[in-house]
Amino acid sequence: MVAVKDMPGILGLSNSQSLDIYYKMVLSRAASVRQRLLQRMGKGSITYSGEGHEATQVGTAYALKPGHDWVFTYYRDVGVVLTIGMTARDVLMAFFARKDDISSGGRNMPSHFSHPKLRIVSEGAPVATQIPHAVGTAFAAKLRGLDEVSMVWFGDGATSKGDCHEAMNFAGVHKLPVVFVCEHNQYAISVHWTKQMAVENVAVRAQGYGFPGVTVDGNDVLAVYRAAKEAVERARRGDGPTFIEAKTYRLVPHSSDDDDRRYRSREEVEEWSEKDPIIRFQAYLEGHGLLDEKTRDELTKKAAEEVDAATEYAENAPLPDPETALRHVFAEEEVA
Ligand SMILES: Cc1ncc(C[n+]2csc(CCOP(=O)(O)OP(=O)(O)O)c2C)c(N)n1
């Protein structure tokens, strides 16, 4: 029998990688909290938080090769982009819609990430549209004989869209190197999952499209990483797609424009706060001698300092020139 202590090693993770995963989760939480507070101070238009989703986001993204594989996120995925290599500064530059924001030069909504060098593909606001984009990119990789995997993240609500079904069908038919990650946080804004689907586990749908679907505890980062690693390996060796359903919970309202007291009880939120994925992984690492109090405090301080520095830099960075507002909207004449 495998000792729990050895689990990171079994998964091919060194001790320093385990701590790196923990750090990415802490950084992701700090970046989400900061944006939420700044928005309340009137310093940003809107924000979507990843609080509660850290194990799902970091655990899946950690299985990819950054800059080689293709990343298709949605607005909640701050933990994904920080794991792939975007910085807290990149995230805050987008939040403040600054001229040098790598995601869109301050044009897209905050939390709609993009980073060409890291192959984080620009996302649109309509729910689920990134899913066929990921499948199309996986199709291109297959046609070109490349070993590049596409991973795409979306919520439980997104699985009701035709885009999701069409994408899964096409991926199954062509056995494409794509991994579908459903961040099942139980709500699509105010709509509970029981009004979205008639199945207990949405992962069972994968079977209907001819590939495996797995359901994992989305608050257990090692379980998520294991599922993602297997799915990426399967995709890379040409065996086709996998659907991962990670059951989790968003600990705060849907966005800064939402009052979640109108559709979920405080008791429910409290219950899930006790399953906080960061505290859980921290307890795991401490309990198995991989993290002590000193290192934990250092990592927490490092994340806070990174987010502080990012906030200060971004807040003081220049806005886009208003003259450029229509750039990338209409065709422009070539300038010789
Ligand atoms: C096509 C479309 N319909 C409606 C919306 C408005 N909308 C934005 S987010 C959202 C909920 C999505 O929920 P889910 O996919 O479960 O993701 P979660 O926000 O819970 O992580 C909706 C309905 C939209 N952006 N696009």
**Nearest residue by C-alpha to atom 25 in ligand 1:** 126
Provide the pLDDT for residue 7.
66
**Nearest residue by C-alpha to atom 11 in ligand 1:** 188
Q: Is residue 243 situated within a structural domain? A: yes
Q: Is residue 280 situated within a structural domain? A: yes
Task: Report strand pairing: 242-247 vs 213-217.
Answer: parallel
Global pTM value: 0.96
Q: What value, to the nearest 5°, has the Cα angle with vertex 315 and ends 304 and 299?
A: 10
- Among the listed residues 36, 184, 250, 280, the single catalytic one is 250
Q: Is residue 73 situated within a structural domain? A: yes
> Which atom of ligand 1 sits closest to the CA of residue 48?
19
> Which atom of ligand 1 sits closest to the CA of residue 125?
25
User: Probe ligand 1: pick from 46, 109, 123, 189, max atoms within 8 Å of CB?
Assistant: 189
Q: Is residue 325 situated within a structural domain? A: no
Q: Is 250 a catalytic site residue? A: yes
- Among the listed residues 107, 165, 174, 263, the single catalytic one is 263
Q: Is 192 a catalytic site residue? A: no
CA 298 from centroid of its chain's CA atoms? 25
Q: Is residue 163 situated within a structural domain? A: yes
Provide the pLDDT for residue 330.
85
Picking from 243, 231, 245, 238, the residue whose alpha carbon sits closest to that of residue 175 is 238
Q: Is residue 323 situated within a structural domain? A: no
Q: Is residue 321 situated within a structural domain? A: no
Q: Is residue 322 situated within a structural domain? A: no
Whichever domain contains 140, its CATH number is 3.40.50.970
How many domains are there within the chain? 1
Tell me the DSSP string of 105-159.
TT-SPTT---BGGGTB----SSTTTHHHHHHHHHHHHHHHT----EEEEEETGGG
Token pair listed for 252? 């705060």
Cβ contacts of 29 within 8 Å, gap of 6 or more: 50, 51, 54, 278, 303
Q: How many angstroms separate the CA atoms of 202 and 182, rounded?
A: 9
Task: Report strand pairing: 150-155 vs 178-184.
Answer: parallel
Residue 10 contacts residue 1 (beta carbons within 8 Å) = no
Provide the pLDDT for residue 4.
47
Å from CA of 319 to ligand 1 middle: 29
Provide the pLDDT for residue 6.
58
Range of the domain at 86: 4-252+260-312
Provide the pLDDT for residue 336.
60
DSSP single-letter state for residue 202:
G
Per-residue pLDDT 10s for the chain (336 aa) are: 344 455 677 788 999 999 999 999 999 999 999 999 999 999 999 999 999 999 999 999 999 999 999 999 999 999 999 999 999 999 999 999 999 999 999 999 999 999 999 999 998 899 999 999 999 999 999 999 999 999 999 999 999 999 999 999 999 999 999 999 999 999 999 999 999 999 999 999 999 999 999 999 999 999 999 999 999 999 999 999 999 999 999 999 999 999 999 999 999 999 999 999 999 999 999 998 999 999 999 999 999 999 999 999 999 999 999 999 888 888 877 766
Following CA atoms 78, 205, 149, 254 in sequence, which dihedral angle do they give, to the nearest 10 degrees?
-10
Token pair listed for 314? 């971004």
